[in-house]
Each structure stands twice: as structure tokens, then as C-alpha cells.
Chains A and B, each alone.
Chain A
Amino acid sequence: MAGAGGGNDIQWCFSQVKGAVDDDVAEADIISTVEFNHSGELLATGDKGGRVVIFQQEQENKTQTHSRGEYNVYSTFQSHEPEFDYLKSLEIEEKINKIRWLPQKNAAQFLLSTNDKTIKLWKISERDKRPEGYNLKEEDGRYRDPTTVTTLRVPVFRPMDLMVEASPRRIFANAHTYHINSISINSDYETYLSADDLRINLWHLEITDRSFNIVDIKPANMEELTEVITAAEFHPNSCNTFVYSSSKGTIRLCDMRASALCDRHSKLFEEPEDPSNRSFFSEIISSISDVKFSHSGRYMMTRDYLSVKIWDLNMENRPVETYQVHEYLRSKLCSLYENDCIFDKFECCWNGSDSVVMTGSYNNFFRMFDRNTKRDITLEASRENNKPRTVLKPRKVCASGKRKKDEISVDSLFKKKEKEIKHMKWVSLGSMVKGVYVANKCFNDSWTVITPCRVWHQKKKKKKKTK
């Protein structure tokens, strides 16, 4: 994060929060997933009610260099509806589990959204012009009597208020018996994978009535089931390579060229267990909740309950870097098991240059780790104390003993159990970080954008420049 010359540090400023003011929000409005598009201009959020809301960043005002464009509602549509599985007598939730944007090819935007069972491809297009001056139709659409037409004119396009339309283009259904937890678009931009607890399927974006099963870990006898798939992702550059993580803390890298069914992994990434930390909860906390390739494709990052690990794809026997997210929770695992918090799944993400990784924690905290300087920082995304462009102060949690001023004790974290930051998204443009989104279960249906502001220190006089 340090730069040349006088030296500059990136600090983080609170930018914007959207959502309900009070905590008493309807269940259906709770945000379940978020995703920036590739440019960072659009932010898509999915909620428990099956709705997708897309926000667009307003164009930056060139005169005000320090104002970062705010995100405003761009489009809202109902992506999934609740369904009922009559055979099993179970309801299929409409909650959106994942959203993934397709790279933009033309004026329209495309995204994939999925609930537990069905994936849908949505097209979001703008309309800001409409044709006027038809010969055979009136302006309101009624047809004219052809005999009344005396002259002919060419219809012209006139501007109209911007209308953003979302239409479902493909519905990929009936391919998953278990709950879909991941979707990942291939670098060929033609295929994508969808993963549930026990199987991974490969789809072609144009073909909805067929998908290929590429991983199947379901045992013949379900009583022997001890491991499930927790996340899967395609490699950013090699269109034949993907990884999937498991509840036992392993990551398998598969090559689709090897065989049609990639049950036999090409590489198995697993860190040997630390015998001094062994407990009944070891397996649960080793369960991987998220796996993300670096932009370079050389590394991948995994998130388990207490840590973030960075793996070099060339080395399978241990990660190259490990960062502790909230080690102070290790002594509380029994309580966390009791109240089910130990099963919470956190996400993680890379910045654009792969130099910083970020993940969420409880109590509105999110953690950033600089891989180069080995510095880490804890920030709080709490809108209660923050106004726009407030520089966020680093927070510290004290594990035990005397609590210093400004520190937070571990026990106070458990007072509000609902506060957790699970979704962390980092959109970057080259090596410039554009924005960080934070979705908060406590805030229920709100999200926060936190952006970097650069603080310059010069030798003689201190000039503060924000970006």
C-alpha cells in the first residue's frame, strides 16, 4: 500500500449506506448475496425474497475530485419465486444464493442468479429512446384507418425517460438434487459451472435442457456421507481448470481434459492438522466457506471459520500464507457451536493487484491483510457512527485480560449475535481499488460502500488529498 515519493497510505472512508434504518426488517428483504460487475459501475444484490436489485454508480463529478459516485437504484426485478416440491413435500426457497455477472459484450448487461435449485440468466437493457411518427398507428397505439393517410413520413427516435428492463433469457432448471452453493462463469465465456452439496454440473449458456455432471461425490449409501462440497470456481485463465472446496478443509483442483467425470482430482490441497489445536470442533472450523482464485491465476484463497489461507497452485501440502481473522474466538468454540455461529459462512476476496485480501468477521468488522507489508487492519462498517467520507479508524479486539481504551472485548461481540459481515466484495480497476461493498445481516437489507481515500504526507507541509 505504500507508494513512492513522500509516501502515501491508503485509508478507508465510509461512503454510503443503503437500506432500512431500524433493525426490524422483513425477512424477505434480508440481503443474501452481492456482486459488483467487472467495471464496478453496477452492484447487484439478491435477497431472501428472490428479488434482485441493481445499483448503478453515478458518473463522477469532474469538478469535485473527492466525491466518489454514489450508487443509486438502477433496476429491480423478481428473479425467483418460491416453489413447492410435491414429491418431497418441501418448499424450495426463493432466496438468491449467488449472482455472477457476465463480461459485457454489448450495450446490455447479463447476469446469472441462482436459488437452491434453479439458475437464471437475466438480460438488463436500457431503453432511452422510442420511435415516434408511425404512419399506420396513432401515438397511443391505436391503428389508423389507412384511407385517412394522405402523407407518409419516416418514424424518428425521440428521447424518453430511461427505462431499464430486465428479462429472463435462460432458465437452467432440474439439474440439482441438493442446494446450489456456487456458480462460476468460465473464462471461455460460453460455459459455467453450478455446484451443490454433492455434485457439480457444467452448462453452456445457450443450452438449457442439458447439463453435464463433472463432479459427483455422493456415496452409494448416504449413511456413509461425511463430506460435502462447499464452494467451486473456475480458473480465471485456464478454461479447463476448476477447483472445489469441501467441508473437511480440502480443495481439489480438477482438469476437465483428463476425463468427462472429474471425480479424480488433479491436485489435492490440504494442510496437515495441527495436533496442539485438536478438538472436537477441528473439523467444523476447517470447513471451507469460500474459495477464490487470484486475478493472476497463480494463487487461490480459502476462508475457513477462523482464518484465511493463500495457496500456491504449485504446492499442495500447505498454504503459503495464513492470516488469522478472529483467533480470539478459538476459546469460545463450544459456545459458538451451541448457538450455531460456528456454521456461519464467510466470504473473502482479492483486490485488483492481488496484494491485499479481505474478509468479514462479526460485529460489523471486516479485516484486510496486506500480503506485501504483512500488515493487517480491522475496520468497522457501522453506519451508526459514520457519515460519508469519514475516515474509518482501525478497531482492535482484545482477547482476554485487561481491555485497553478503544478496544472491544470478546464478550461484547457476542451480545448482538446477528452482527456479522459475510459478504465482502472488492471491485478493482487495474491496481486502483474502486470500492468495497459490505452486506450486513444486522442491517438486514442494507449494504455499505466503503472506498479508499489516499492520504498524502509530504516532507514540509502536510497536504491531504483524497481520491
Chain B
Amino acid sequence: MFARGIKRKCFDGEEDIEGTLAGFKSVPSYNLQRQSLLDMSLVKLQLCHMLVEPNLCRSVLIANTVRQIQEEMTQDGTWQVINAQNTGQASLDRLVSSDILCRSTKEQNEGKLVPSYSGFSKDFENTPSQDIISDLSTVTSVQAPRNPQSNNVWEMENSQENRGNFQKSLDQIFETLENKNPNSVEDLFSDVDNSYYDLDTVLTGMMNNTKMGHCDVLESFSSQTTTNSNSNCKSDINELDHIVEILVES
């Protein structure tokens, strides 16, 4: 229920609140809208990692938006409630850093990490390759539970299942990109309403595989994309062409 006379500017005109009749319209609650904005922002941040080189300005602005929402939610007291439900973690009396913000709730449950803001920003640094590898080690794919101690991505098992999962995720990406305008995140996610987190796994798996430079998985990826390319590739699937080019060149 919106207070009289206060216009909420951040949401669309179609849910326009015109003064006194606000409470009587079926308007999604402010909390729900805020939550969906938070979810959207987190997905955007994760999507950054799929591209070759994320735009730093855009990422900073999205991360600031996420932080802003989170601060407001903390003041409201709603943040702690949500976190307690989803993660079961006890220590939430401090402001959560953006590192944790960027985790999807599903992966929080499974104890995995997606590339956090600090993680990917470190990629921009001219760090020694060892640091990059240890950063990448935090990016786990679905196979991670089998290799909890694996600190070296080169040791990732080149299993059939790995390929299978990867094939599936590749098909999913190709499908969505083929049908919609690849530049529109909205289009990309229009089908993926509640299953943000499934896409997270997909993206993480994609990113994990594309980041590896010398692994055997890389070669299997290249061969898979060539077989896929005949059926699925169109000239406007730019991001994946990009990735393939890099992998083939390296």
C-alpha cells in the first residue's frame, strides 16, 4: 500500500499511481518490485562475466544499485529476513559486502560462489597468472562437489558428464540468442522468469570453461562448437563467436 501523495518514481508508468486511488489498484508491492530489481541487477552482474570484457562503468553502476537496495532493505529489516530464509547463515548483523550479494541464493545453499564483483574486477588487474588461477578456483561448475579441494582448474575432470552439461548449456544459450535480440537482456531473460538460478549455473559453467586456456576441456569445447556452429550459429550471435575466436586463437 502506498502512502498518499508519494510517488514511487522507480517503477513504470503502466503501474502509475495517481494519488488517492493508489491503494485500490492491483499494484505489486514496493517490496516485491524492489526485490525484482535486486534480482535483475544480480543477473546483470553475472551476465557481465559471460562477455569478453565487461564494461566497468556499467558494472559499477549496477553494483551501486544493488548496494543501495541492500542498504534500504537492511534499514527496513527485510534483508535479514530474506537471508535467514535462504541461506540459514547466522552471522548477518553486518552489512553484506557485494561479494556475497552477487551469489545467487541457490548457490549459497550449495556453498558455491559465483564470480563476485571483486573477483571479476581482479581480472582487470595485471596480477600474476597464479592469482588468476586461484580466483578461477572459486568459480565452480556443477561438478564442484566432487572436487572440493581442487585449487587448480587445470585438474578439472574431463568427464563425459562435464561435456554433456556443457553441451546442454551451450544449446540453451544458442537457443535464446538465436530467437531474440541478443542485445536485450530483457529478451534474453523473458523466458527465464523464475529460473534465474538455473541460468546462473549455466553461465557459471560457460564462464568456467571459456576462461580456461590450456585445458583438455577447451579442445572439446572447440570441437563441440564447430559441430554446433553449422546448425545454430548465426552471424548475430556475437558473444559466442567472440569466445570461440579467442579459444581457437589461443
Contacts and interface: CB of A to CB of B under 8 A. Distances in A.
24 contacts: A27-B235, A84-B246, A88-B124, A88-B126, A88-B132, A91-B53, A177-B125, A178-B124, A179-B56, A197-B56, A230-B57, A279-B9, A280-B34, A280-B65, A281-B65, A331-B9, A331-B13, A331-B16, A339-B187, A340-B44, A343-B61, A417-B183, A417-B184, A418-B183
A91 B52 contact: yes
A343 B12 contact: no
Interface in A222-272: 222-223, 225-228, 230, 247
Given A230-B57, A280-B69, 12 more contacts: A84-B249, A84-B250, A86-B250, A88-B123, A89-B250, A280-B37, A281-B10, A287-B57, A330-B9, A331-B13, A337-B37, A340-B184
Contacts of A334: 10-12, 37
> How big is chain A's contact interface, by range?
35 or more
Contacts of A178: 56, 124
B58 interface: yes
A228 B57 contact: yes
Interface residues of B, number: 52
A198 B56 CA distance: 10
Interface in A413-428: 417-418
B37 to A, nearest CB: 6
A179 to B, nearest CB: 7
Contacts of A116: 53
A333 interface: yes
User: When A and B form their complex, which 3 residue pairs have the shortest distance between CB atoms, in order from nearest?
Assistant: A279-B10, A331-B13, A279-B9
B148 to A, nearest CB: 25
B213 interface: yes
B245 interface: yes
Contacts of B129: 87
Nearest to B13: A331
Given A87-B129, A178-B124, A283-B64, A223 B98 contact: yes
Interface in B26-83: 34, 37, 40, 44, 52-53, 55-58, 60-61, 63-65, 68-69
A400 interface: yes
A313 interface: no
Contacts of A2: none
A197 B56 CA distance: 7
Contacts of B246: 84, 89-91
A252 B95 CA distance: 30
Contacts of B8: 279
Contacts of A273: none
Contacts of A417: 181, 183-184
A115 B84 CA distance: 47
A284 interface: yes
Contacts of A223: 97-99, 117-118, 121
Interface string B202-222: 000000000101000000000
B142 interface: no
B185 interface: yes
B158 interface: no
B186 interface: yes
B247 to A, nearest CB: 9
Given A86-B250, A343-B58, A343-B61, A91 B186 contact: no
A230 B68 CA distance: 21
B12 A331 contact: yes
A177 B10 contact: no
A332 interface: yes
A209 to B, nearest CB: 18
Given A88-B132, A228-B60, A339 B184 contact: yes
A314 interface: no
B187 to A, nearest CB: 8
A405 interface: no
Interface in B109-134: 117-118, 121-126, 129, 132
A225 B121 contact: yes
A226 B40 CA distance: 19
Contact of A226 (B12, B34, B60): B60
A223 B13 CA distance: 35
B125 to A, nearest CB: 7
Given A91-B246, A227-B60, A279-B9, A27 B238 contact: yes
A91 B242 contact: yes
B214 to A, nearest CB: 10
A400 B18 CA distance: 13
B121 A222 contact: yes
A278 interface: yes
A221 B185 CA distance: 30
B13 A337 contact: no
A65 interface: no
B2 to A, nearest CB: 14
Interface string A82-101: 00101111110100000000
A104 interface: no
Q: Which of A179, A197, A225, A343 has the most CB of B within 10 A?
A: A225
Q: Which of A116, A226, A340 has the most CB of B within 10 A?
A: A340
Interface string A322-340: 0000000011111101111
